[in-house]
A and B are shown apart, each in its own frame.
Chain A
Amino acid sequence: METQPLEIQKKQYAKIVKEIRPKPPLLRNLAGAFVVGGLIAVIGQIFLNLYQGLGLSLQEAGAAESATLVFLAALLTGLGVYDEIAKVGGAGSIVPITGFANSMVSPAMEYRGEGLVLGVGARLFTVAGPVLVFGIVTGWAIGIFYYFFR
């Protein structure tokens, strides 16, 4: 192995690594993601029904429901519980809007020591920034397209 060209060494090594490295427990992860993601959606649905029952329109109730979920996720992140849920939930706790809130609070909280402006203020957008950028740019492009071709 020593005398072989680096590219071949790399390929051979990648093979050994692949053999030895444990595979992700796919079925368990998928089950975790399904259950946790599903449950978060159900909690959202409960609030949605609740707010509609209080007389809000569907759209308003949806907004209020999002805000509630975000609040809960921020709280659980602060209490150090959300990352424990994510251990089981994986993508099930990343993809819901609660994961979005978690991705905002977690860096902001840890960089608190760097001050309110550059620590908290800037770090809130470590992940949220890109999400908003790509979401808004896509939305804008859809709007432009719709404006000219509707």
Chain B
Amino acid sequence: MIFFKAFLVGGLICVVAQLLMDLTSYKITPAHILVGFVTAGALLSAFGFYQPLVNWAGAGATVPLSGFGHLIAQGAVQGVQEKGLLGVFSGGITTTATGITAAIVFGYFASIFFRAKG
């Protein structure tokens, strides 16, 4: 069942992005979409709307980049709870550290080992 929910929510979030891309001007590039989804995810999370989605759909809500934003927001809040003002600065990165490091390390090695096919 969780797989079905993940599929549904993950797919629907991407449908929203596809609509944004196809129905708006060419000025919306993939970079804008990614930035928009991270920011939107963080804001939704701050208002408490994103966690219920994660609880219901699991990876369906965490795999899209809005989940990344949710993680940053969650981290910031946790950081404040644990360390106060300093946590504001460290929290967001703490929760996302694994993803960011993985992306940088694997990205680095992939760029070195492979050659663009064109």
Contact = CB atoms under 8 A, between A and B. Distances in A.
Interface of A: 24, 26, 29-30, 32-42, 44-49, 59, 62-67, 69-71, 74-75, 77-80, 89-92, 94-101, 103-106, 108-110, 112, 116, 120-121, 123-124, 126-128, 130-132, 134-136, 138-140, 142-147, 150
A139 B116 contact: no
Given A120-B111, A146-B77, A134 B10 contact: no
B114 A120 contact: no
Contact of B98 (A66, A92, A116, A139): A66
**Main SS at interface, chain B:** helix
Nearest to B89: A140
Contacts, number: 274
A45 B111 contact: no
B107 A124 contact: yes
B92 A100 contact: no
Contacts of B114: 77-80, 109
Given A91-B18, A120-B111, A132 B100 contact: yes
Interface centre among A38, A40, A89, A97 (most CB of B within 10 A): A38
A109 B38 CA distance: 24
B65 to A, nearest CB: 6
A41 B96 CA distance: 18
Contacts of B106: 67, 70-71, 74-75, 101, 105
Nearest to A116: B112
Given A38-B14, A138-B72, A112 B112 contact: yes
30 contacts: A26-B23, A33-B11, A33-B18, A34-B12, A37-B17, A39-B7, A41-B6, A42-B6, A42-B10, A66-B102, A90-B14, A91-B21, A94-B33, A95-B65, A97-B67, A100-B68, A103-B30, A105-B106, A109-B110, A110-B116, A131-B68, A132-B100, A136-B72, A138-B73, A140-B92, A142-B43, A143-B80, A146-B80, A146-B88, A147-B88
Contacts of B60: 38, 41, 45
Contact of B113 (A78, A135, A143): A78
A79 B114 CA distance: 7
Contact of A127 (B3, B31, B46): B31
A107 to B, nearest CB: 9
Nearest to A150: B80
Given A38-B10, A44-B59, A112-B112, A70 B80 contact: no
